[in-house]
Amino acid sequence: MRISPEAKATFLTATTSLLLSSSYQYVRPAVAFVVVPTSSSPAARFVVASTSTSASSSIDRRRPYSSLAAFVHPNTVVSHGGRINGVVHRSRTTIGGVIMSPTASTCTPSSSATTNTASPLSLRGGGTALYSGGGVATEETKVANSAPPPPPREIYRTDYAPLPFVVKNVRMNFDIRDGKTIVESELTIVPNVGVNVGDLILDGEADALTLLSISLDGIDLIEGIDYAIDGDALTLYSKTLLLPGDGASGGGDAGRKLKTRVEIVPETNTQLSGLYKSGKMYCTQCEAMGFRRITYYPDRPDNMAIFDSVRIEADADLYPVLLGNGNKVDGGTVGGSEGKRHYATWSDPFPKPSYLFCIVAGNLGSVSSSYTTRPSGRVVHLEVFSEPENVSKLDHALTSLKKSMMWDEDTYGLEYDLDVYNIVAVSDFNMGAMENKGLNVFNTALTLADPKSATDSDYERIESVVGHEYFHNWTGNRVTCRDWFQLTLKEGLTVYRDQEFSGDMMNSHAVKRIEDVNALRARQFPEDAGPMSHPIRPESYISMDNFYTSTVYSKGAEVIRMYRTLLGKDGFRKGMDLYFKRHDGSAVTCDDFLSAMADANNADLAQFGLWYSTSGTPTVKYVTKYDESAKTFYLTLSQESNSAKPLHIPVAVGLLDKVSGEEVVPTKVLELKEKEQTFEFSGLDGDVLPSVLRGFSAPVKLVGSSVDEENDWAFLAANDSDGFNRWESGQKLYTSLIFQTMRGVQSESKTMEHVCNAFQRTLTLDTDDYSIQAYGLILPTESSMAEELDVVDPVSLHKARGDVKKLIARKFHSSIRAKYDELTSAMKSNGDEIKLDATSIGQRRLRNVLLDYLCSLKETAEEREAASKLAKNQFQTSCGMTDRYAALSCLVSMEGEQSVVDRRDEALQNFYHDAQGDALVIDKWFTVQAMADLPDALEKVKALVKHPDFTLTNPNRCRSLISVFSGNAAHFHADGGEGYKFLGEIIAKTDKLNPQLSSRIGGALIRWKRYSNERGSLMKMELQKLAEMKPISNDLFEVVSRGLK
């Protein structure tokens, strides 16, 4: 290796990293070193010889090193622990060594001085900086902090390579003190058998970590010699891990012990990733890449290590509860602290990736119980924690956990495997919940519930999410992803499992299916059609946080459901059993799951695997023909998708007699595997009408070719035995009428007649399933209908939907009011008790749908008076949040006479007053106003941003107002683009605090091509402003740059 004469063996090294600010001052270098090459070979070893006897004694100056990474020469990028990424420019005379100090707000040269001083410079955090260099620092020596950062790097699925070394065991110590936390880690590192030896990269975010010390097997390591830190990566050189005399195994079976000591500041961590402080509680969020904000580690899911010991130390009075993964093995008072500090040690016997790591420290209350697993009889202690004032709202989460454990045993034979299962509710949380092994962390919005603060939908979501996180214990924790491109392997599978669990719990799979498909069409279909479109297994990403998407989760669940549809209940269970048998304790791929399903059922699923790599929503078209002489019905199916080859699509079909409406052929799954296929049904005595895609058997758009399509929909809406398709046919009729209204077609059309017949039949349906009745009366959402339009006019679509609602409400007013009063009387018989059974929830759901219709009639003063009085009465007389919130939702969109406005404002004031001290109810107060249908909606939202209870630092609060308003299409997209400008300003502010949140909010602007030129250009303008913002997070950059393509 040859060293440039210009560089003159300039060498920089330090035993610890130097934390620097964004502006620096030159100070005098300390100790001079000379680097003497022992060979002319580029791979030669070097001997570091000190020219001073006062050099730090911690450095062994006789030890040979295999690399020299941190010498300084002209125009070389310097990177000290990721804290500086400037360019050192050559001085007029020589390049002398330079140390920079965060003591000044401007970068100015120090006074001229030679660089041969022998006294070492102590560094912040300990250690000594050792520099060489001859000559004098002059005014021409500069650090170019203004150099533009490189563009974010895109990572590709095909880039995957296994680690050359893996962490086998982990021991950690957290010393939590206000203002800083010291994290000590001991990693047992071993070679990855069968993988070529190479450098080991430990991830560590530069803006989060200050490295205080690093050692290997008790010997301090030297930056630039044993390791290098460049940006967010600490590279351990392979020859450091495999020194002569240690053996090629890197320390034998026991491995090498790497110890690091870092300082982090959870109190200033507004990203809510890694260890951060939420209120008075410390907690962690490590998925996907948060552990690298805690310590240096191979922060990727294929490194599954056993965390033998995690010791947490904190103030005993402020943080009496200390929780970690696994089982608690030790605890007590810290010696010498006079009882003021305490500790707890947790041990997790199961190997896990770093994203499942968790600790919590806080003053928490809890509810607890136990559960005995079957058939092993393990007694598991269950405990759900929250801040003390919220303990009364934890019972539902605890009950849901028990239901989940029992359901997983009954359905899949899967038992829990630890002695304890803890859940902690956290107010500041980017996600819904996190499945950390044995210690789940939940957003308070998905944990806390009582009838006065939570709606029925809140209760259902909590039960579903508790189930989801528990089910991850096997589908995600025991078997995890090899890399983040395989995320749907755990999330799609677990969403499917929680959907089936919820369907069983509510005793109505048809209702659950309607809810899930509604959500899929409202969120995932638009994603499939937009610039962020990606397969359920993405091919690349810049920020993985952007791919926790509806595609990966919800469409991924639909792919799992198709396995179940194709293989049957028993076949799917066999596949699951084989999957766990093969891969328990491993990090695997989507292909491994497909192989288990195929092998367990002796099935060829190779073509089905195309679903993992195909983006966009496929379209399935069907054509029918009946041959009376042959008594045969022909159903021709064809498909269109972004896949070059045909997909394997299960299409569930039933046949109804065209006259009687009776089902003559029950549901049969047709496997569409070609571009076009014709299926025959013989032995039929008369013509039939097909019910196609029953149960929404595949995530596709279905297009028929009947010349009398609306009559077919009306017939199916009246007669289909499949609950989902009966509802779906009604939705198609509603959509057709709304689109006709947009085009100015008279309301007295044939479509209107079909709609009225379907509405009346549903309204007078004699059933105990009030929820299915309610969903049958609700008009399609504007977002789902917009996906069927080439160019979207949100204002016109909103008006047309409102006009159709008013037409129906006026035509059936007396019947709607009678049913509303009937339900009100029935519910009064319960007194003040809020029941949470399916019947009671269904009654409330149906009554509130009817209230919404009644309150839509407000064209005259008389109608406005009647509607506002009805809504106010329900608001005042209801005991539970479900009915109060529904009434308030109607009231907030009322205007006109002063009496009407007074009722609206009084209800809002009362709701806010009652919500004091309850952050989740305050969130509802913001939300209900953000979705109000008023001419000055944007101005009201702008005023709410200035409300003392609003903050951008809390994701729940931000979403409750900003995200909800961006979904209030008619007002967000109002003429002039003021809504876009408002959102752009909020996104810019949020990105400086929480990039995950800003990128999510930014998604509202990226589909500008779907709108008129005027609207689209205004949306694009805001994206361009964001793209030019400096700095911009990788999360937001990815969303904005894709949106501008």
Catalytic residues: 469
Q: Three-state SS for 49?
A: strand
- Which of 182, 175, 179, 221 lies closest to 202, judged by CA? 221
Name the DSSP letter for residue 350. S
Tokens 């949140």 sit at which residue?
997
- Would you give the distance in Å from CA 557 to the centre of its chain? 15
| Ramachandran sector of residue 1010 (left: φ over 0; alpha: ψ -120 to 50; beta: rest) | alpha
The rounded Cα 40 to chain-centroid distance in angstroms is 53
DSSP for 973-1002, please give it.
T-TTSHHHHHHHHHHHHHHTT-HHHHHHHH
Four-point Cα dihedral 962, 964, 965, 968, nearest 10: 160
Residue 312 and residue 341: Cα distance in Å, rounded? Answer: 11
Closest CA relative to residue 431, chosen from 959, 1035, 1040: 959
Q: Which residue has the tokens 């007078």?
A: 764
Residues sharing a CB contact under 8 Å with residue 487, sequence separation 6 or more, in sequence order: 288, 481, 537, 544, 547, 548, 552
Q: How far apart are the first and last CA of the chain?
A: 45
CA distance 260 to 292: 13
CB 611 within 8 A of CB 562: yes
CA 494 – CA 404 distance, rounded (Å): 12
Q: Specify the DSSP element, H or E, that contains 440.
A: strand 439-443
Whole-angstrom distance, CA of residue 726 vs CA of residue 717: 5
CA 872 – CA 895 distance, rounded (Å): 14
Residue tagged 């009387």 (tokens): 825
- Tokens 């970690």: give the residue: 324
If you search the block for the tokens 């070394």, which residue do you land on? 165
d(CA 635, CA 676): 11
Closest by Cα among 18, 293, 15 to 181: 293
**Cβ-based neighbours of 224, under 8 Å, separated by 6 or more:** 11, 12, 13, 67, 68, 69, 70, 71
Tokens matching residue 572: 């799917």
Please enumerate in sequence order all residues whose Cβ is within 8 A of that of 398, keeping only pairs 6 or more positions apart, or say none.
367, 368, 369, 382, 384
Q: Classify residue 379 as exposed, middle or buried by CB count within 10 Å of its CB (0-12, 13-18, 19+).
A: exposed
State phi, psi for 230 to the nearest 5 degrees. Answer: -130, 110
Amino acid identity for residue 902 in this structure: D
Report the C-alpha gap between 885 and 894 in whole angstroms: 15
Residue whose token pair is 């669990």: 501
Cβ neighbours of residue 399 under 8 Å, at least 6 residues apart? Answer: none
What distance in Å separates the CA atoms of residue 1011 and residue 840, rounded to the nearest whole number? Answer: 42
Query: Could you tell me the strand order of the sheet in which 379-386 lies?
Result: 365-372, 379-386, 420-426, 439-443, 433-434
CA distance 29 to 40: 29
- Which has the closest alpha carbon to 717: 748, 761, 767? 761
Q: Counting beta carbons within 10 angstroms of the beta carbon of residue 207, is it exposed (0 to 12), middle (13 to 18) or buried (19 or more)?
A: exposed
C-alpha closest to that of 128 among 69, 61, 71, 55: 55
Report yes or no: 454 and 411 within 8 Å, Cβ to Cβ: no
